[in-house]
Structure 1
Amino acid sequence: MNKFVYWVPAFIWIAVIYYSSSTPYEKQDIKPWLGDWVNLSWAGPYLERISFTYNNQEVSVAAQGIAGFIEFFIRKGAHIGVFFVLAFLIYFALFYTVQQNKNKPLLAASAWAGTVLYAVFDEWHQGLTPNRTPYAGDVLLDAFGGGLAVFVILSVHRKNGRKKKFNIE
């Protein structure tokens, strides 16, 4: 089988990320949906005391409303989740296409490095999109998502290695 096939999922995922970064914020805004379709009023009393600054902007219910506050966490969680998937897909492709020494920690570190490099490119690209701004904090979230994937991958490999070592299956 052609080894390129193992890279197709990663490249498709990169295209999805690229498309998302090319989309102006107004077309991705989920606040109207949250406000119209989900009753969030019950959460206000629990969340109104939370306030912090992210990218020189106050993040709080008072500053953004309950829908905007919740959207902030959805969007930042998406950074982590999207780059978790990317790191996993890059690792998968490396694992099945690298012929020499299948050093799993090295492959995982390479997958993480590739993920972080793409995260940097993605933030730069996002800066070219109307009403979107690049922010180094988002790259850190992306790197965390990729690192979490690497942790899960290596933990599974370690667990599977222990089972084989003791003939447990």
Structure 2
Amino acid sequence: MKKFIYWVPALVWMGIIFYSSSTPYEEQNVKPLLGNWFDLSGLIPLFEGFSFTYHYSEVSVESRGIAGFIEFFIRKGAHVTVFLVLTVLIYYAIRKTTRETFQWSIIIAWFATLVYAISDELHQGITPNRTPYYGDVVLDGIGGLIAVMLISLVYYFRYRNQR
């Protein structure tokens, strides 16, 4: 039972992700904040000709306005960051509560993160004004891979002198 405490941060983080996925888009919209608090007009010339499609919609300054364009990258960056943190927390819990090797711990942590990312997108499918999209799972997985690389670097530098 004492070992359960190591899983609390990961479970709390999963709860935060679940809560965030339960919140309709309108309640998470940061465009008004960006537009009201910051003068983003100076960024328009930098991104004016930049355009791509994500989940069947155009992402550009022309289609979303500068605040919507910036918000898109904030939201997608949040996907990467949130699931990077989740991978680290799961890895930590595994290392503290099992006898798995470093390699298996990191593989299990990344796989568990992917499974949770998939379940998160499925959950968004039943949340009003939210839509599931596999592209977000890819971003979540990239966040997990960045965590794997960071954990591996720390592991390498910490234990290289012991070999």
TM-score calculated relative to the size of structure 1: 0.94
1:113 paired with 2:111, answer yes
In the other structure, the counterpart of 2:39 is 39
Deviations 1:48-106 (A, max 9, x none): 111000001000000000000000000000000000000000000000000x3x41111
- 1:81 corresponds to which letter in structure 2? T
| Structure 1 residue ranges, 4+ long, deviating more than 4 angstroms after superposition | none
SS of the residue 2:128 aligns to: coil
Correspondence for 2:127 among 116, 126, 129 = 129
Whole-angstrom distance in 1 between the partners of 2:104 and 2:153:
14
Shift of 1:154: 1.1
Whole-angstrom distance in 2 between the partners of 1:14 and 1:162:
33
1:4 paired with 2:20, answer no
Whole-angstrom distance in 2 between the partners of 1:163 and 1:8:
32
Deviations 1:140-169 (A, max 9, x none): 00000011101110111011111334xxxx
Q: Note if contact 1:40-1:67 (Cα within 8 Å) is conserved in structure 2.
A: yes
The runs of 5 or more residues in structure 1 that have no matched partner are none
The runs of 5 or more residues in structure 2 that have no matched partner are none
Shift of 1:16: 0.1
State the identity %.
Answer: 55
SS of the residue 2:5 aligns to: helix
- 2:76 corresponds to which letter in structure 1? K
Deviations 1:19-70 (A, max 9, x none): 0000000000000010000110000000111100000100000000000000
Aligned-residue RMSD, C-alpha: 0.9
Q: Note if contact 1:21-1:122 (Cα within 8 Å) is conserved in structure 2.
A: yes
